[in-house]
Amino acid sequence: MRENDKAGCVGFIGLGTMGREMVRNLLKAGHAVQAYDVRAEAVAELASDGAVTATSPADAARGADLAITMLPDTPHVEAVVYGEQGLLKAPPAGRLIVDMSTISPVAVRRMAADLAAVGIAFLDAPVSGGPVGAKNAALSIMVGGEAEAFARAGRFFRAMGTTITHVGNAGAGQAVKLCNQLICGINIQAICEALALARASGVDLEQLRHVLLGGSAASWMLDRLGPQMIAGDASAGFRIDLMLKDLRLVLEQAGALDVPLPATALVTSQYVEARAHGEGANGNQALFRVYDRMTGRAAG
Ligand code: NAD
């Protein structure tokens, strides 16, 4: 924590793959965290790390400087904001809500306006860096909303991330995140294609990865997901279902703005194929299994 980053209190809602690591880092930085999730076991796990157990979003937000949500998709965030025990009716004492999930920019603008009408500030602050970035407090955080709210949230962002950027008004954080996701999705597909071709050519895949990482084809995805693709390990990290949700948000935004994104459309349909084959709960590296099916060859 920086010298001038006073300890505060966060109501944190959504303790999944990302949220639980972000809570741990807030606690490590000296902040108090009131944690809530619909899964009681997720709340109990963090209570043993020092978080205060909350029984609803309203309970998590009670007396806090701000409430942070880290939830799967737009309807979950809307339920936490507009619901019976939600943050619109029972905001944190600091009247600031920060959503760090990846959700629709249109919904963000609507929520920001509804909350502003009753004097509650809202920031969209999606993240990049995956579970490892979350664990290492090394997330890239892209933030949309009022500058004053961004400044107030700064000490909490600094406990969870290293690249923290105010990118514009409400929805701008999500607009940047959607660009991030289309690059990630297309990059994963490019790696799958290279591995499929290399495998058919009889090339050693680990050696291929090593060589590529030393040259201009290197990427975060090749580095982090390549080993799992090569080993045929589909275990979850960032789930196929979540990436498909993000790619659909990208196409929605592109459709509304008349921007053709042919490569995104193509990779989206491959994610649909993966989900149709029961891969939705698997990690993104399982996109390589689409190529297993298309080529009639198996990884591992
Ligand atoms: P996750 O599914 O692991 O966690 C979401 C948590 O929210 C779960 O624990 C779930 O029980 C809880 N939840 C659902 N509805 C709720 C409600 N109404 N009230 C309280 N809790 C509720 O998802 P995740 O991987 O942690 O991702 C969270 C968000 O961050 C998503 O929008 C995702 O796209 C984004 N994201 C994920 C990653 C990643 O690598 N996993 C990286 C960057 C961004």
Q: Tell me the average pLDDT across 115-144.
A: 97
- In 62-146, alpha helices (H): 74-82, 105-116, 130-135
Q: Given the CA of residue 243, which atom of ligand 1 is nearest to it? A: 34
Q: Whose CA is nearest to atom 42 of ligand 1?
A: 130
User: What's the pLDDT score for residue 298?
Assistant: 80
Instruction: Write the CB contacts of 2 (distance below 8 Å, at least 6 apart in sequence).
Output: 155, 158
Residue written as tokens 């929520």? Answer: 111
pLDDT at 4 over 90: no
Ligand 1, pocket-test mutation among 38, 81, 135, most atoms within 8 A of CB: 38
The answer, yes or no, to whether any atom of ligand 1 lies below 6 A from the CB of 127, is: yes
Q: Given the CA of residue 79, which atom of ligand 1 is nearest to it? A: 18
Q: Given the CA of residue 139, which atom of ligand 1 is nearest to it? A: 43
User: What's the pLDDT score for residue 273?
Assistant: 97
pLDDT at 1 over 60: no
pLDDT at 3 over 80: no
- CB-based contact 145:121 (threshold 8 Å): yes
Least confident range from 3-17, 191-205, 239-253: namely: 3-17
Ligand 1, pocket-test mutation among 242, 248, 282, most atoms within 8 A of CB: 242
How many angstroms does the Cα of residue 100 sit away from the middle of ligand 1? 9
Q: Tell me the average pLDDT across 278-296.
A: 95
User: What is the spatial distance between Cα 141 and Cα 158, in angstroms, rounded to a whole number?
Assistant: 9
The answer, yes or no, to whether any atom of ligand 1 lies below 6 A from the CB of 23, is: no
Residues facing 128 on adjacent strands = 140
Residue 204: pLDDT band (50, 70, 90) is very high
Q: Whose CA is nearest to atom 1 of ligand 1?
A: 16
How many angstroms does the Cα of residue 296 sit away from the middle of ligand 1? 34
All domains of the chain, ordered by start, with CATH? 3-170 (3.40.50.720), 176-295 (1.10.1040.10)
User: What is the spatial distance between Cα 149 and Cα 204, in angstroms, rounded to a whole number?
Assistant: 51
Q: Tell me the average pLDDT across 191-217.
A: 97
Residue 221: pLDDT band (50, 70, 90) is very high
DSSP code per residue over 163-201:
EEEEEESTTHHHHHHHHHHHHHHHHHHHHHHHHHHHHHT
The pTM for the full model equals 0.95
How many angstroms does the Cα of residue 69 sit away from the middle of ligand 1? 9
Q: Residues 166-182: pLDDT tens digits? A: 999 999 999 999 999 99
User: What's the pLDDT score for residue 148?
Assistant: 98
Strand runs labelled E in the chain: 9-13, 32-36, 52-53, 66-69, 96-99, 121-124, 127-128, 139-144, 161-168
pLDDT at 300 over 70: no
- CB-based contact 19:46 (threshold 8 Å): no
User: What's the pLDDT score for residue 2?
Assistant: 62
Q: Residues 8-66: pLDDT tens digits? A: 999 999 999 999 999 999 999 999 999 999 999 999 999 999 999 999 999 999 999 99
Mean per-residue pLDDT of the chain: 96
Q: Which residues are catalytic?
A: 177
User: What's the pLDDT score for residue 236?
Assistant: 77
User: What's the pLDDT score for residue 5?
Assistant: 79
pLDDT at 187 over 90: yes
